Amino acid sequence: MASVQTGVSIDAPRDRVFALFTDVHNLSDRISGIIRNEVLTEGPVGEGTRFRETRKMMGKEHTEEMWFTGFVPNESYCVEAESCGAHYMTTFLFSDENGGTRVDVSFDATPQTFFAKIMYAATARMMMKTCAKLFQRDMQELKTVAEGASPDA
């Protein structure tokens, strides 16, 4: 298994930050790396919500179907996916910090197939560096929105 941990401090209330991070309907408007996001389930975002995200990475478009698990409003959630013979889990934790919000993220990639295990052995370090940069950029862009958003956002 390969993993990445990162985090960001945001000068905004936790409920606003959590709502912003889980608003999959509008992520492509707020995160420059996301080309489009399609919500595949009806109803409010929560455990079981599925969506399809298309990003531009390393010069190519990549589309992944993901779903929310372990959804605890204003505290935490996980997003999981299965692709290229691996299982991916990203966990977001939200806590109060100096009148604002701390968001800590951990990303785990677990190869499931023989081929994926071989590829991960060769590319895990590069892949995790790329993922860390993506998470940091995404969170900085959401931080900018959260800190500039009106209380109704």
Quick one: which of 80, 78, 83, 66 has its CA closest to 127? 83
Per-residue pLDDT at 146 exceeds 70: yes
Helix or strand (DSSP H, E) at 123: helix 114-148
Per-residue pLDDT at 152 exceeds 60: no
Looking at residue 134, its pLDDT comes to: 82
Q: What is the CATH number of the domain that holds 66?
A: 3.30.530.20
Helix or strand (DSSP H, E) at 30: helix 27-30
Q: Is residue 153 part of a domain?
A: no
Q: How does the average pLDDT of the chain come out, rounded?
A: 86
Apex 38 CA angle, 32 and 43, nearest 5: 125
Q: Is residue 90 part of a domain?
A: yes
Give the total number of structural domains in the chain. 1
Tell me what the mean pLDDT of segment 55-84 comes to. Answer: 89
Tell me what the mean pLDDT of segment 50-63 comes to. Answer: 86
Looking at residue 118, its pLDDT comes to: 67
Tell me what the mean pLDDT of segment 15-32 comes to. Answer: 93
Give the range of the structural domain holding residue 117, as residue numbers without chain letter. 2-148
Q: Is residue 11 part of a domain?
A: yes
Per-residue pLDDT at 140 exceeds 90: yes
Tell me what the mean pLDDT of segment 10-22 comes to. Answer: 95
Percentage of the chain surpassing pLDDT 70?
A: 87
Looking at residue 59, its pLDDT comes to: 79
